Amino acid sequence: MKTLNRSVIVLSVGCSLLVGLFPITARSQEASETTQEKEACIRNLKQIYEALQAYRRDRKELPNWLSDLVPKYLKDPSVLLCPVTRRTGRVETFGLGDPKLTASYIFEFCDAEMGKIYDGGKIKMRDWKRRQMGLVGSAVPMVRCHLHSPVLNLSFDGKVFESADTWENHVRRSGHRSALRAETQSGRRRVSG
Ligand SMILES: [Zn+2]
C-alpha cells in the first residue's frame, strides 16, 4: 500500500510538473520560431539592399517599387516575402503595397502618395523621405517590415535596426527629433493649405 501511495505521489508530482512545463515549451518554441523568422527576414532585407544598390549603380536612381528589381536585380521574387507572410498570409503595408507583386515589405522611397500617412496627402513618399534624409542623413529607413514587433528597418546606408512603428521617435539626437517633428507639421500644413 505504501509503495502504491508513493507511486501515486510520484505520478501526480510528475503530472503537475509536466502540466507546468507544457506552456513553457510552447512559449520557447514560439520564441525560437519568432527569432528564426526575424533572422530570415533580415537576410531578405540584406539581399534587397544589394539589389537596390545594383539598380542605383546602373540607373542613377531608385526604383519606383521593389518589384522593379525583379528579375534583373533580384532573380527570386520570394525574397520579397517575409517568413511571417509565408506562415500566416499576413502583409502590413498601410496602403503602400507593391502594385505588381505580393511583397511583405514597404519600400519607403516608393512612387506612391503618402495619403493618410502623417496626413501627407499628395506628397510622394520618396520626396518625403528625401526631406527626412536632409535632416537625419542615411539613418532613414529605405525598407521596413511591420510583421515583427519591434518593426525591422533597413536604413538607406544598409543597416538593419529595430524600432517602434514610428521610427522617427527613435532618432536619438534630440535636435534631429525636433527637426523631424517640425517637418511633419509643415507637411501637414501644406496639405491643409
Ligand atoms: Zn519580416
Q: How many angstroms separate the CA atoms of 164 and 95, rounded? A: 19
Top pLDDT among 181 and 133 is at: 133
What DSSP string describes 30-67? Answer: HHHHHHHHHHHHHHHHHHHHHHHHHHHHHHSS--SSGG
Q: Ligand 1: distance of its center to the CA of 84 in Å?
A: 6
What is the per-residue pLDDT across 7-42, written as a single tens digit (0 to 9) for each?
555 556 555 556 666 667 788 888 888 999 999 999
Q: Ligand 1: distance of its center to the CA of 179 in Å?
A: 29
Helices (H) and strands (E) in the chain, counts: 4, 6
What is the per-residue pLDDT across 95-115, written as a single tens digit (0 to 9) for each?
899 999 999 999 999 999 999
Q: Ligand 1: distance of its center to the CA of 9 in Å?
A: 48
Q: Are 145 and 152 in contact (CB under 8 A)?
A: yes
What is the per-residue pLDDT across 58-98, written as a single tens digit (0 to 9) for each?
999 999 999 999 999 999 999 999 999 999 999 999 989 99
Q: How many angstroms separate the CA atoms of 15 and 9, rounded? A: 10
Q: Which residues surround ligand 1, an ion (CB under 5 A)?
A: 41, 82, 145, 147
Q: How many angstroms separate the CA atoms of 33 and 72, rounded? A: 32
What DSSP string describes 94-128? Answer: TT---SSS--SSEETT-SSEEETGGG-EEEEHHHH
Q: Ligand 1: distance of its center to the CA of 156 in Å?
A: 17
**pTM, full prediction:** 0.78
Q: Where are the domains of the chain?
A: 2-185
- Name the residue type at position 125: M
Phi-psi group of 97: left, alpha or beta (phi > 0 → left; psi -120 to 50 → alpha; rest → beta): beta
- Name the residue type at position 178: S
Taken in order 86, 87, 88, 91, the sign of the CA dihedral is negative
